Amino acid sequence: MISTTPHVVSRSESKVIQELEQFLQTHEIMHVGECIDWFEVPIEDVLFRRLFHDLAIYINGGQVVGLSLRNCQLSTLPEVVCNLKHLSHLDLSNNEISTLPESISELTKLQSLYLAFNKLMAMPQSIRLCKQIRTLDLAYNRFSHVGSQICSLSRLQVLHFNDNRLVTIPDELANLKRLRVVNMRSNNLRWVNESFWKLKNLERLMLSHNQIVALPEGFGSLKKLTMLGLAYNLLEEVPEELGHLTSLSGFLYLNGNQLSDLPKDLKYLSQIRHVLLQDNAFTDLPEVLRQMPQLETIDATNNQIESIPSWIAEISALRSLTMRRNKIRVLPNSMGRLQKLESIDLANNLVMHLPGEMSTMASLERINLQSNPVLRLSAWLGELKRLKKLDLRWTKMALAPNGLEELVLDGCEVYT
């Protein structure tokens, strides 16, 4: 790192850097005489990684290819920046920018533009001339619509529009055939246009924390989708087509809706490992879960579920079962067959006792039974040699087992 204007760049770019430093000094963002740090970096770091310095210049092959002006309290982009003709990465996040100059169109080699955490309501019409942009981050701004100028960026692959004020998604967005990632969580969307499903290359789609009431036909055409976020919307049902998205893996975010069941075709989601169902209207665990062979996590907190079904034992890969704030009274004897289960959370239910078959659960490390009415516990708890935490707070025990003392001696944290 060198703390003076780099001599490896052209005279014209060196002059631009000096003018930018003068601008920042005049606006008291930098001290008089202070210089922007610069770094020689491989071009792939600029194009494919988020560079981590707040105020820095990135150089490759004697050209300024990256510029970070994060956290500078800027109200607009200094127009002198638009003279950096080789700039491919520009980060203006965490500023006070409300408008961008039309001269941004001169940055014709720009591929990554980060504008999160500003005050933007629209992009300049000239941005459509920045035809090389692949990544555009407009999160945490004040957009109420996606402008046509954005929908003309045909090379766009990653679009972050989360935490804005969007009400609709324009049909023109379907023109961006190369989109792989779309993040529109935390807006005011009530509907997703059918044309949206023409984005066949989508791999990650985040629509959580909106007001979406239904998903249109064609949803199942997104065959490359590996991640889907639908949490905290107004969905009363999930279409069968969701089961056609067989590339989905990892988490299935359905929490925070008004769901009472899941379609049978979800059995085809063989790569799903974590299903989040909390804050819905389920009265039973959806039976389709028993047909997900790799399922490791079920979280059904805050529903109206009255029992855990005996078929729960068929989910042999299950490691975590969270059923807080339901109406569960009895656990099935088959629970003991969940040999990989590490954590069970039954806080705020109506559980009276635990079945003795659970004594064979060799992997169990955490049991949360707090805020259940009356518990009759048995000495077999002491046989759970891997148990690290047993939470019995705000629970009246009809009989305190001798096994608790043994658990404490074995290093288990017991909360009563």
Q: Yes or no: say if 134 and 114 are a contact pair by the CB < 8 Å rule.
A: no
* Chain centroid offset of residue 295 CA: 19
**Among candidate residues 96, 93, 69, the one with its CA nearest the CA of residue 80:** 69
In a domain, 214, yes or no: no
In a domain, 69, yes or no: yes
pLDDT tens for 320-345 read 999 999 999 999 999 999 999 999 99
Task: Tell me the pTM.
Answer: 0.90
The two structure tokens encoding residue 155: 């090379």
Q: Yes or no: say if 268 and 291 are a contact pair by the CB < 8 Å rule.
A: no
Instruction: Please list the rounded mean pLDDT of every run of 10 residues in the chain (416 residues).
Output: 60 92 91 89 64 86 93 94 95 97 96 97 97 97 96 97 96 95 97 89 97 90 94 96 94 97 95 97 97 95 97 97 97 96 97 91 95 82 89 80 72 88
Between strands 158-160 and 135-137, the pairing is parallel
In a domain, 11, yes or no: yes
Q: Which distant-in-sequence residues (6+ apart) come within 8 Å of 200 by Cβ?
A: 177, 221, 222, 223, 224
Q: Which distant-in-sequence residues (6+ apart) come within 8 Å of 148 by Cβ?
A: 170, 172
Q: What is the pLDDT of residue 245?
A: 95
The two structure tokens encoding residue 44: 């792939």
In a domain, 93, yes or no: yes
In a domain, 81, yes or no: yes
In a domain, 198, yes or no: no
Q: Which domain holds residue 54?
A: 1-108
Q: What is the pLDDT of residue 33?
A: 86
Helix (H) / strand (E) containing 20: helix 11-26
In a domain, 395, yes or no: no
Could you give the number of structural domains in the chain? 1
Strands (E), 4-61: 37-40, 55-60
In a domain, 56, yes or no: yes
Q: What is the pLDDT of residue 2?
A: 40
Q: What is the largest CA-CA distance in the chain?
A: 84
> First-to-last CA distance in the chain?
57
**Alpha carbon distance 124, 239 (integer Å):** 38
pLDDT tens for 283-320 read 999 999 999 989 999 999 999 999 999 999 999 999 99
